[in-house]
Amino acid sequence: MLRVGFPAILDPQLMSLMPDGIELIPLGERLDHPVDIDVWIPDPYSTRALRVWPSLRGVRLVLSLMAGTEWIPAAVGPHVTICNARGAHNISTAELTLTLILSMFKYVPLYVDIQRSGDWRRRSEASHLYQQLTGDQQVYHPPVKLEELTGKRVLIVGHGSIGKDIERMLEPFRVEIVRVARTPRTQPRVHPVSELDSLIPHADIIILILPLTAESKGLFGPRQFEHMRQGALLVNVARGGVVQTDALVDALNSGKIRAALDVTDPEPLPIDHPLWRCPNLLITPHIGGSSPQFDARSIAVAAEELRRYIKGEPLHNVVQAAT
């Protein structure tokens, strides 16, 4: 019988979604003896999972509950197949992306600050912020208090499972979408990443939603910030390492761009890190996937993959095939 190890902290009721004909082995946070399993469902937090891994024997398949699996190949080596939980984070991460974009275009960070100060008259700061960010010196009456998303040009870097859902959720805003992925395609048109630099200057908003890999590490650096429009918004909901943090800090401090980050490099962001003090920046502490619906969705994805594995059918979400 196939032995499937899973984090004991998960609600046991959720494990009823798993197919019949397997033996479920709950794995505590620390193991003081070797445990034989065939399939490992690691804890979503890599630090906890890595504490367990050295005691596991016989693992042939890893079913991650997360979309991002960047720590797993180095830990388990090349002889293990790794699947991610493609699809499980889509709704919460896509909704967060829209929230971050709208928050930045409606100056929510400024208005939260004004609310805390209890000083209504400070709302005049919004038009200064607009002028500073965009360089637009035109006189508006009444003065600008927010900006509009509708009609903007949005560059989505990574047009996979989540990128497509972000596009779907942006559709009601009648934005112009430009897509980038590893491989070019048509219908809809997706540009190859080799064209990224030429697309950046035309974008009002750039969304990063691609995996952190050897190729994507540091993809967004000084040259890419240089190409960005004055006042353009960078949204990183992918992984912190896709962006070169020093270059991001410089671009923000120069007043050229604005940014919203759910992910940073490093994570957790140390209390004295310069990013915390950058202007025109909204940070959420890597929350994109963590809604109450997440556990059931990710277990359902793993259960479906396991069903296919038992039947010998091709797996859906392989990010590393065993060699």
Ligand X SMILES: NC(=O)c1ccc[n+]([C@@H]2O[C@H](COP(=O)([O-])OP(=O)(O)OC[C@H]3O[C@@H](n4cnc5c(N)ncnc54)[C@H](OP(=O)(O)O)[C@@H]3O)[C@@H](O)[C@H]2O)c1
Which residues are catalytically annotated? 239, 267, 286
Instruction: List residues bridging with 177 in a β-sheet.
Output: 154
Q: Which of 149, 207, 289, 309 binds ligand X (CB under 6 A)?
A: 289
Beta pairing, strands 318-320 & 81-83? antiparallel
Residue length of the chain = 323
Residue 44 interacting with ligand X (CB under 6 A): no
Residue 206 interacting with ligand X (CB under 6 A): no
* Burial bucket for residue 90 (CB in 10 Å: 0-12, 13-18, 19+): buried
Containing 5, the helix (H) or strand (E) segment is strand 2-7
Residue 152 interacting with ligand X (CB under 6 A): no
Q: Which of 60, 106, 122, 286 binds ligand X (CB under 6 A)?
A: 286
Containing 62, the helix (H) or strand (E) segment is strand 61-63
Residue 241 interacting with ligand X (CB under 6 A): no
Q: Of 29-37, 137-145, 147-155, 206-214, which part binds ligand X (CB under 6 A)? A: 206-214
User: Helical H runs in the chain?
Assistant: 46-52, 72-76, 90-105, 108-117, 125-134, 161-170, 196-199, 222-227, 245-253, 294-311
Q: In the complex, what is the shortest distance from the CB of residue 269 to ligand X, in angstroms, rounded to a whole number? A: 14
Cβ proximity to ligand X: between 61 and 166 the closer is 166
Cβ proximity to ligand X: between 41 and 263 the closer is 263
User: Helical H runs in 206-293?
Assistant: 222-227, 245-253
Q: Evaluate whether 262 touches 96 at the Cβ level (below 8 Å).
A: yes
Q: Of 9-17, 45-53, 207-215, 221-229, which part binds ligand X (CB under 6 A)? A: 207-215
Identity of the amino acid at 255: G
Site string for ligand X, 63-102 (x = CB under 6 A): ----xx-----------------x--x---x---------
Cβ proximity to ligand X: between 19 and 184 the closer is 184
Cβ proximity to ligand X: between 160 and 274 the closer is 160
- Show Cβ contacts of residue 2 under 8 Å, excluding neighbours closer than 6 positions: 21, 22, 23, 38, 39, 306, 309, 310
Beta pairing, strands 281-283 & 318-320? unpaired
Cβ proximity to ligand X: between 89 and 256 the closer is 89
Q: In the complex, what is the shortest distance from the CB of residue 260 to ligand X, in angstroms, rounded to a whole number? A: 11
Residue 42 interacting with ligand X (CB under 6 A): no
Residues that bind ligand X (CB under 6 A): 67-68, 86, 89, 93, 157-163, 180-183, 193, 209-213, 215-216, 237-239, 262-263, 286, 288-289
